[in-house]
Structure 1
């Protein structure tokens, strides 16, 4: 699909409609699809950098870059979501690569930590993330903390 547009914005740069669409996608996936009632709006978005993709004015993928100390001691990538109709098209890979590159550009090479759903260990592992915790339940869904070490990717 050549009409996919990628965007990166600070919270205050998002329009009301963009914010609404990002929150709707995240809620549709993390709360409704995964049948997991939890506080999706967690108070962190205002401090994050948001990366998202649109297709025909619809948000189809999103993630946020979370500053160090807000979720983890390290900078992190969170709320990675792809709309169901777009999951087999490789947009998850593009989204993660863009997030990693944006961190390097804006903040320099550094360790990146994520809290991944366990079934996605191999996916995140393909970007250099390695488990840094035992598996644990978060909102009744198996998760694992993973870190991508900057030292392995520095030249």
Structure 2
């Protein structure tokens, strides 16, 4: 499964694509994970929306935000999902890598903070994120804050 990757500002999303994004976010986060929260939180208008489509369907998605929107001092990548029909196809890594590229192009190199589901810490660590603080409950699911520091990674690869 080879998705087509694109990134859109809110105003660039067609009505149909926005509807599909919101529908798959609700399918995964509200229905599947039984997390009852307001998904339309006012941040979508400030975001870059990273979308991987397969046969015209949203297969993978993230919402990329600059610092000051979700976290005062950090940019963020959130609402990370793979649609049920696309799971097991290895889309998580390219989704997160492309999302970081979009963030850097849009906002410059930044520290990135994510709220990772605790059972996915090893996956995010393999992408360079480091756990900070303790595991906490977010909507009934254990989460851990994780941080990506580009300065740290630059020092590792440019010794």
TM-score category of the 2 structures, normalised to the smaller one: over 0.9
Q: TM-score, normalised by structure 1?
A: 0.95
**How far 1:128 sits from its partner (Å)?**
0.6
**How far 1:100 sits from its partner (Å)?**
1.1
The answer to whether 1:134 aligns with 2:122 is no
Find the counterpart in structure 1 of residue 10 from structure 2: 11
> Which sections of structure 1, spanning at least 5 residues, go unmatched?
none
The SS at the match of 1:110 is: coil
Q: Aligned partners of 1:146, 1:76: CA distance in 2, in Å?
A: 10
The answer to whether 1:64 aligns with 2:63 is yes
> Which sections of structure 2, spanning at least 5 residues, go unmatched?
none
Q: Aligned partners of 1:76, 1:33: CA distance in 2, in Å?
A: 23
Q: Aligned partners of 1:105, 1:66: CA distance in 2, in Å?
A: 12
**How far 1:108 sits from its partner (Å)?**
2.1
**How far 1:110 sits from its partner (Å)?**
1.7
Find the counterpart in structure 1 of residue 98 from structure 2: 98
The answer to whether 1:89 aligns with 2:89 is yes
Q: Aligned partners of 2:29, 2:90: CA distance in 1, in Å?
A: 20
Q: TM-score, normalised by structure 2?
A: 0.92
**How far 1:37 sits from its partner (Å)?**
1.1
The SS at the match of 2:23 is: helix
Find the counterpart in structure 2 of residue 76 from structure 1: 76
**How far 1:12 sits from its partner (Å)?**
0.4
Give aligned pairs, total: 154
Preserved contact between residue 66 and residue 107 of structure 2 (Cα < 8 Å): no
Please give the root-mean-square deviation of Cα atoms over the aligned residues, in Å.
1.1
Q: Aligned partners of 2:104, 2:153: CA distance in 1, in Å?
A: 11
Q: Aligned partners of 1:126, 1:84: CA distance in 2, in Å?
A: 23
**How far 1:151 sits from its partner (Å)?**
0.9
**How far 1:153 sits from its partner (Å)?**
2.3
